[in-house]
């Protein structure tokens, strides 16, 4: 406790009667003692309440103690959160500097690639932390739900960075990443304790339209046929548009646009890698149909590309939308991790698209995402990541894998119980491709497996084919995450929907309460009532 050396008020010197001086001294002493006791009580109570559901309570308590100083009295949850975020920024800057420094001193291309991914991810994290600090000033429920999503993504970025490293680079970076993960985890514990609901359960009014974070103008675009969309710029291989490649059009798009910028891509096959960076906000890439406009690539892990960077199309600019296009990664099953689409853009919408690959087809990396009327195919973990994502009215198609593999539809990567992330599959068809159908009795297919400790996936109101194993779900390794995951099924149908022979894990449940199932709808899991309605994409 700091010693008070200065008077509370800078009053001019005066002479007081003895009794008045004694009374004043006693009063000030009492006030200071009561303030100290109240502060200690508030701090202790908050620490227990905040940290009791933290992944690491000891680390949570230590961090809160380090920031709960006499700089602010009493140390409210909001002030504690702001102090942690303020503390995080220079540490993130340090991690970026370290990654860049190691990158310049190491000669291993794979380690360099992982470090480059880390620098990118840390840069995104810094933005999300700073955005959170700004949004917390308003402290509305909508701002709190946004902050919850952003800080969940910050932790995901740190984990993704760590996962992509190996060798000396990983050993060095871990000293930077461990404290950053602890800060992120504690910040999430505070956010969760500030909310009247548990993580991922922020209630918004139900709606029959797309999530309300989609504007009225966007809604009209998403409901329009391909030839009815008014584009800002046209891409065409035959030279009839302004650009011949999709990336050229994205690069030329305005930075940080407040309004929708539509890139119309005429039918054809575009062999390129497309990156929609963080400054390319509110970009929409629209084609002539999911079988007509094709963006294709074949980057993969075996040939030296990181999983994170292997995506044919990657989008991190907020408000990203894709419609009527076909995104492929054609590397094949033998090349292992090979992403077709990676999305880390908040409030993103993928509508009427086809996404094809084998292992790790769709990387729903982070933040709030919505997929509607899409076709997604693959083999191992072909829908994975740690976004808060809802897939509605989609076809999820398992392909024939290599002879020593099994199919997994999902591999959700939630690492902390206070992240508001998870994968929700609603009113979808879970199907086998024609080549898998011929051998489905010898190649098992599962709804998912837990990539990370708090993996969370729900399949509801969907048609499940008979290629799905009666067990439904597969363990990752031994008993890892079987008690901490959340896997649920609700009102599904089809030959593979029976739950009598499902796994008996502590974290698996057949959902019978509609209120429990609502937690994984557009309105609640991705706060869609606050943003999707304005896009015009149909949802429920």
Q: Using CB atoms within 10 A of its CB, is residue 227 exposed (0-12), middle (13-18) or buried (19+)?
A: exposed
CA dist 351 and 459 (Å) reads 20
**Region for 67 from its dihedrals, namely left if φ exceeds 0, alpha if ψ lies in -120 to 50, beta otherwise:** alpha
Q: Is 324 a catalytic residue?
A: no
- Which residues contact residue 224 at a Cβ distance below 8 angstroms, ignoring those fewer than 6 apart? none
Residue 264: DSSP 8-state: E
CA atoms within 13 A on the CB side of 18: 0
Number of helices (H), then strands (E), belonging to the chain: the values are 11, 26
Is the separation of the CB atoms in 147 and 132 below 8 Å? Answer: yes
Structure tokens at 488: 């649920």
State phi, psi for 276 to the nearest 5 degrees. -100, 100
- Name 489's bridge partners: 459, 510
Matching residue, tokens 């991810």: 121
CB atoms within 10 A of CB 308: 24
State phi, psi for 271 to the nearest 5 degrees. -90, 95
Q: Considering 324, 381, 386, 416, which one is annotated as catalytic?
A: 381
What does R_g of the chain's alpha carbons equal in angstroms? 26
Residue positions annotated with a catalytic role: 381
């Amino acid at each position: 406790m700091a010693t008070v050396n200065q008077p509370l008020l800078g009053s001019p010197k005066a002479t007081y009667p003895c009794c008045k001086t004694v009374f004043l001294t006693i009063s000030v002493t009492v006030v200071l003692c009561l303030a100290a006791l109240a502060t200690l009580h508030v701090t202790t109570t908050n620490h227990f309440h905040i940290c009791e559901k933290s992944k690491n309570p000891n680390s949570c308590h230590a961090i809160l103690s380090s920031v709960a100083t006499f700089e602010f009295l009493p140390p409210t949850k909001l002030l504690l959160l702001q102090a942690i975020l303020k503390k995080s920024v220079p540490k993130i800057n340090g991690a970026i500097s370290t990654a860049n420094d190691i990158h310049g001193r190491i000669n291993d291309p794979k380690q360099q690639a992982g470090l480059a991914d880390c620098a990118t991810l840390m840069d995104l994290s810094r933005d999300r932390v700073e955005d959170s600090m700004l949004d917390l000033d308003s402290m509305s429920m909508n701002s709190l739900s946004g902050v919850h999503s952003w800080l969940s993504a910050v932790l995901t970025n740190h984990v993704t960075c760590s996962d992509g490293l190996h060798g000396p680079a990983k050993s060095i970076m871990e000293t930077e990443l461990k404290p950053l993960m602890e800060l992120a985890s504690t910040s999430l514990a505070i956010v969760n304790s500030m909310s009247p609901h548990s993580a991922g359960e922020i209630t918004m009014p139900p709606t029959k339209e797309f999530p309300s974070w989609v504007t009225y103008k966007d809604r009209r675009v998403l409901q329009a046929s391909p030839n009815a969309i008014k584009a800002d710029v046209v891409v065409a291989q035959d030279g009839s548009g302004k650009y011949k490649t999709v990336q050229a059009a994205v690069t030329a798009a305005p930075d940080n646009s407040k309004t929708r910028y539509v890139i119309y891509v005429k039918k054809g096959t575009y062999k390129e890698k497309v990156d929609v960076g963080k400054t390319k906000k509110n970009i929409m890439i629209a084609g002539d149909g999911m079988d007509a406009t094709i963006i294709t690539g074949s980057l993969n892990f075996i040939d030296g590309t990181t999983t994170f960077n292997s995506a044919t199309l990657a989008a991190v600019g907020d408000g990203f939308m894709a419609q009527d296009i076909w995104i492929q990664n054609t590397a094949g099953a033998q090349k292992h991790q090979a992403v077709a689409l990676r999305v880390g853009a908040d409030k993103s919408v993928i509508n009427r698209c086809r996404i094809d690959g084998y292992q790790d087809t769709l990387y729903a990396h982070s933040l709030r995402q919505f997929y509607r009327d899409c076709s997604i195919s693959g083999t191992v973990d072909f829908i994975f990541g740690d976004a808060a994502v809802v897939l509605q009215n989609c076809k999820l198609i398992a392909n024939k894998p290599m002879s020593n593999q099994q199919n997994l539809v999902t591999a959700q990567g939630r690492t902390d119980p206070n992240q508001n992330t998870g994968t929700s599959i609603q009113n979808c068809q879970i199907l086998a491709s024609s080549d898998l159908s011929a051998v489905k009795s010898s190649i098992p297919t599962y709804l998912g497996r837990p990539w990370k400790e708090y993996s969370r996936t729900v399949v509801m109101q969907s048609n499940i084919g008979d290629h799905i194993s009666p067990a439904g779900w597969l363990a990752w390794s031994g008993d890892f995450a079987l008690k901490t995951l959340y896997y649920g099924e609700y009102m599904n149908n089809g030959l593979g929907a029976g739950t009598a022979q499902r796994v008996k894990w502590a974290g698996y449940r057949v959902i019978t309460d509609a209120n429990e199932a609502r937690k994984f709808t557009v309105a609640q899991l991705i706060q869609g009532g606050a943003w999707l309605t304005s896009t015009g994409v149909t949802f429920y």
